[in-house]
Structure 1
Amino acid sequence: MLKSTRIALLSANLIGAGFLGMSFAAQAHAETTLNALFMAQAAYSEADVRAMTDAFTKANPDIKVNLEFVPYEGLHDKTVLAQGSGGGYDVALFDVIWPAEYATNKVLVDVSGRVTDDMKKGVMPGAWTTVQYDSKYYGMPWILDTKYLFYNKDILQKAGIATPPKTWDELAADAKIIKDKGLLATPIAWSWSQAEAAICDYATLVSAYGGKFLDNGKPSFQTGGGLDALKYMVSSYSSGLTNPNSKEFLEEDVRKVFENGDAAFALNWTYMYNLANDPKESKVAGKVGVVPAPGVAGKSQLSAVNGSMGLGITATSKHQDEAWKYITFMTSQAVQNQYAKLSLPIWATSYDDPAVTKDQEELIGAAKHSLAAMFPRPTTPKYQELSTALQQAIQEALLGQSSPEDALKTAAQNSGL
């Protein structure tokens, strides 16, 4: 009895010592733990981000990274609420529309001193606008993105349409041909849910019509190109050419409708190209065309919205050096070139790399034009208020609850500017 007790105690001590040793070993290999917040939607897939992160931790065994993925719609609030609690994340993905607010409210740290000359020279100029506010850098650009016009080559051929539309009026005319021939009841799909997605589609059209959101810090979207853009949306919707469910669609809904063969035209981000061409994912694989979003005769050759995103260090992070090390790895040219199928690189010379262009030459051809013409959504610390007011205006106009003129006038009054 005594002997067995002693053996049990000895075993417990040895096991305890073993756990202790394992604990010390674990600490030696994971001295720092980073918490990083990403988006579970569009651009890089969750699998891509996990694979990139695994490569980073393998190269940096003293740093562990906890990943959290949320839908785009929750990304902003999750970041801000975590800051308010005094903890949360070390690294956060942020949209191009948020640096003004994040800088003003000290959500992200100024990393201007960390950005090297090689980074400045190598990254495309348009990408830097993603992370800048008041001439300072608040992170590294990571997702370089705009919306393109995707089209179903098979449906256009059956309709006798030789080339994709170059203007928005041509798109409406082509959609009417497709509808009249009985090929599709509603040939166009948009992301017009009462969310930021609708603002991105609206901004694309504002750029085409030569409009602007603000003039000297005050709303100017309620006249000129801003008004013309909403009028086009309402016309497309009320004509029956647009899928009526577009008023509830986000980008993923548009992708699924297009991949099912139920849309001849769709406005969406880069990531849709390779997913829609994947036979496992899509019924239209091999029939997917992509071109820059159209322009307006006499006003623009094409249209494009800046939908880029960056990775930044939060002001509450206690591991800012390690966080920057992780960010520079994730945004490095080697990593971006390796994962260039759902999001295109921020580096200028990547677009001549066969590893990037192979099997997506059509997309790269469109990107070279569109990425150079990205139209910004307004830079203001009150962007969230402005966006919310515009989202409501778009919905009211689409549903016929208000004229485009009145809807935008109300949005300007409710914008907080």
Structure 2
Amino acid sequence: MARSRRPWLLALSLASACVMTASACAPGAGGSGAGGKPTVEFWSMPFWIGQDDKVKELVDEFNKSQNEVKVNLTLLEWKDGRDKIKQATAAGNGPDVWLMNNGLELDYLKAGAIAPLDKLGYTTADTEKFLDLADVNKYEDKFYGAPLYFDVGVMLYRTDILKKYGFSKPPATWDELKSTSSAITTKSAAAGDKVHGWQFKGMDDHVNAINSTWESFLCQAGGSLTSSDYSESAQDSEAGRTAMNYMRSFYDDKTSPVGTSALNGFIDGKVAMFPFFQSVIAGVEAAGAKTKGKWAVAPMPEGPKSGCSMVGGHSLVASSKSDDLKSAGAFMKWLASPERSVRYMDFHAIYPYDSQQVDPASKKAYEAKIAGAPQWIPILQQLGRNSPELVLQDRHAWATRWEAQKSSVVAGVNGQMSVDDALKSIDDQVDKALSAEK
């Protein structure tokens, strides 16, 4: 699609020049596809977990399914894909449609860079089918992102290890989590084959994961990321101290190890339990015989105030500057449709629609997926505990917050920094970013 090439997204304060590499910045959406069909440029990271080629297969399927629109796919890497999209969009030669985290990014929204769904062919009847959590994609009372799927933080546990040390069910509260994991660590060490009862995802092989882990425990303690008007950071609070001191206690008493991968330790039988988004199940299942029949999923242990957890997942958004919003919307409605979303459940993605509101064929397919995998029961139970509010708070100064939490939460939990100093450090950094938003 032809569109202006001027750097129109100045409000993002991003690089104005595109990184011109084959995988990063296509020449832009220009002209028509084969046979004069409108062309939609779609940039995406491989959101189908465990099978990077699936996104291309889906785009090819769409192109073969109709003769009105041609979609060109630029597949990016997770390590820098978001940055490449921002750079290209700021320079005026970004994609028509792209992948974005649920909750969306405030800079794009404030700059008017994303088209609301009602400009893309979505009706009220369409958006009423979304789960209530889809409100994370609202801004000023309009939807701007079409959810592909949701993630929620859950707990994975080794059924064989818990049974070995006398536990017939997973812990349901913070107190039970602490006593169960401590007992497993102590008893296994005494037997000469130490197993750590618990590990916090993000304190090990994937530091970025500490953000979702921390925000889940903060929520369970009754805490907030920001004030109710999103103007001030609110982590330096009693709830923040409760959450961080609780997490720190696992390291103080050596229940949790420093430097041990939660996922790899779980697969190898050296970590009994850990929390993360349910999509990590794909990694557990990929371990084959090491884990088959030896693990299960449970809702997050409830904290002092609730059993909530962080919400994640991805959505599709479209450029407000696209010359053909109708074609962009047609592709989005296909890729993020109830029919396709059922298929994303194959990598344990949470269906973003109310199954009672979709067409009978999609409802039947959804129910078959649920019936065929018992882990969906606790996942859906956890889904019901969560609201959009934590994600809406996280939208404000999120980039600064996530960098601040990666360093300060880890330091506060493992004892390199006092809990008070860690929380103050987060608030100090985030408050500066929030002030810049005003």
Assess same fold via TM > 0.5. Answer: yes
Give the secondary structure class of the aligned counterpart of 2:224: coil
Which residue is 2:285 aligned to?
277
Contact 1:98 1:383 in 2 (8 A): no
| Other structure's SS at 1:130 match | helix
Structure 1 counterpart of 2:215, one-letter code = A
The residue correspondences of 1:123-162 to structure 2 (distance < 5 A) are 123-126=130-133, 128-162=134-168
Counterpart check, 1:186 vs 2:196: yes
Q: Which amino acid aligns with 1:65?
A: N
CA-based RMSD of the aligned residues comes to 2.6
Q: Any idea what SS the aligned residue of 1:46 has? A: coil
1:201 maps to amino acid: T
Deviation readout 1:345-383 (Å, 9 max, x if unpaired): 11121677333214312x221122211222524244422
The equivalent position to 2:333 in structure 1, one of 311, 314, 328, is: 328
Residue aligning to 1:411: 426
**Residue of structure 2 equivalent to 1:261:** 269
Question: What is the aligned partner in structure 1 of residue 176 from structure 2?
Answer: 170
Provide the secondary structure at the position in 2 that maps to 1:142: strand
| CA displacement, residues 264-317 of structure 1 (integer Å, 9 cap, x when unaligned) | 10212222335423564x5111222101111125x22x2311113211002343
Report the CA distance shift for 1:36/1:235 in structure 2 as closer, same or farther (over 3 A): farther
Check 1:359–1:379 CA distance in 2 against 1; reply closer, same or farther (3 A cut): same
Contact kept in structure 2, 1:184 and 1:263, CA below 8 Å: no
Say if 1:146 and 1:305, in contact at 8 Å, map to a contact too.
yes
Rounded to whole Å, the distance in 2 between the matches of 1:372 and 1:229 is: 22
User: Which residue among 94, 98, 102 is the counterpart of 2:100?
Assistant: 94
State the alpha-carbon separation in 2 of the partners of residues 186 and 175 from structure 1. 7
In 1, the alpha carbon distance for the partners of 2:257 and 2:323 equals 49
**Which residue identity is paired with 1:169?**
D
Q: Distance in 1 between matches of 2:264 and 2:63?
A: 34
Return the alpha-carbon distance in structure 2 between the equivalents of residues 122 and 59 of structure 1.
Answer: 24
Instruction: Name the residue aligned to 1:18.
Output: none
Does the 8 Å contact 2:46/2:55 carry over to 1? no
TM-score by length of 1: 0.83
- Identical-pair percentage: 20
Judge conservation of contact 2:195–2:272 (CA < 8 Å) in 1: no
**One-letter code aligned to 2:424:** K
Residue identity opposite 1:64 in structure 2:
V
Aligned position for 1:228: 242
The one-letter code of the counterpart of 1:293 is: M
- Hey, what's the Cα distance between the residues in 2 that align with 1:373 and 1:402? 32
| 2:224 alignment partner, one of 207, 212, 227 | 212
Shift of 1:97: 4.2
Distance 1:203 1:310 in 2: 21
Q: How many Å apart are 1:224 and its aligned residue?
A: 2.0
Gaps of 5+ in 1: 1-24, 247-252
Cα displacement string for residues 185-241 of structure 1 (whole angstroms, at most 9, x for unaligned residues): 323233325854211101110121111111242121111222221222222233222
Q: How many residues align?
A: 380
Q: CA deviation at 1:109?
A: 1.9
Q: Is the 8 A contact 2:59 2:71 kept in 1?
A: no
Distance across 2 between alignment mates of 1:196 and 1:133: 26
